[in-house]
Chains A and B, each alone.
Chain A
């Protein structure tokens, strides 16, 4: 009977795992059909995900340069404002398409999940 499915949890951790797993389940599709609206949303998700990845790479580069001391105060300020506005614009777009951060997540292996 060792092929019976068994779930085994470290003592005291059940509530925590239940919380984490419930969050995962929350982000899973609630409807699966050929609704054309979903197709549009699928495409929006692709495009926004790609932009988010590029935005994250840009932010990594910006922080790197700021920490590296190669930017003047004025450059840091300009760069920071531009990235802040980009981040806010992306928030607007996500809201427009009814997508939240979990919807845009893709697993990039060791790069981790995209926030």
Chain B
């Protein structure tokens, strides 16, 4: 069910790219500059989650939008917690 009779260069590239996507993009980060971009992106993602779910519960009348904003949000999938603990 797998790898015979295939171009070894494709396979090597595939395995390497798979490795890079784990090693360069995941894993715990504790140092300087990367924290700014990684932690910052995390902050944005979390804030957006709060923003979008927060808007869901806003009173429609207060927004004066006659129910359109929550309908728009209903069009977008609502975010569950971003990470599985």
| Closest Cβ neighbor of B37 among chain A residues | A42
Q: Is the interface of B mostly helix, strand, loop or mixed?
A: helix
Number of interface residues of B (CB under 8 A): 39
**Number of residues on chain A facing chain B (CB within 8 A):** 39
The reply on A32 being an interface residue by CB < 8 A is yes
B60 to chain A, nearest CB (A): 14
Checking B14, B45, B49, B69 against A14 with a beta-carbon cut-off of 8 angstroms, the contacting residue is B14
Q: Choose from B2, B21, B78 the contact partner of A9 (Cβ within 8 Å).
A: B2
Q: Report if A18-B1 is in contact (Cβ < 8 Å); known contacts: A108-B48, A109-B82, A110-B79.
A: no
Contacts of A42 in B (CB 8 A): 33, 36-37, 40
24 sample A-B contacts, Cβ–Cβ < 8 Å, listed by A number: A7-B3, A9-B2, A14-B10, A14-B11, A15-B7, A18-B11, A18-B13, A21-B13, A22-B13, A24-B17, A25-B20, A32-B34, A34-B33, A38-B33, A43-B36, A46-B37, A61-B68, A64-B71, A64-B75, A106-B41, A107-B45, A109-B82, A110-B77, A111-B76
Interface residues of B (CB under 8 A from A): 1-3, 6-7, 10-11, 13-18, 20-21, 24-25, 32-34, 36-37, 40-41, 44-45, 48-49, 68-69, 71-72, 75-80, 82
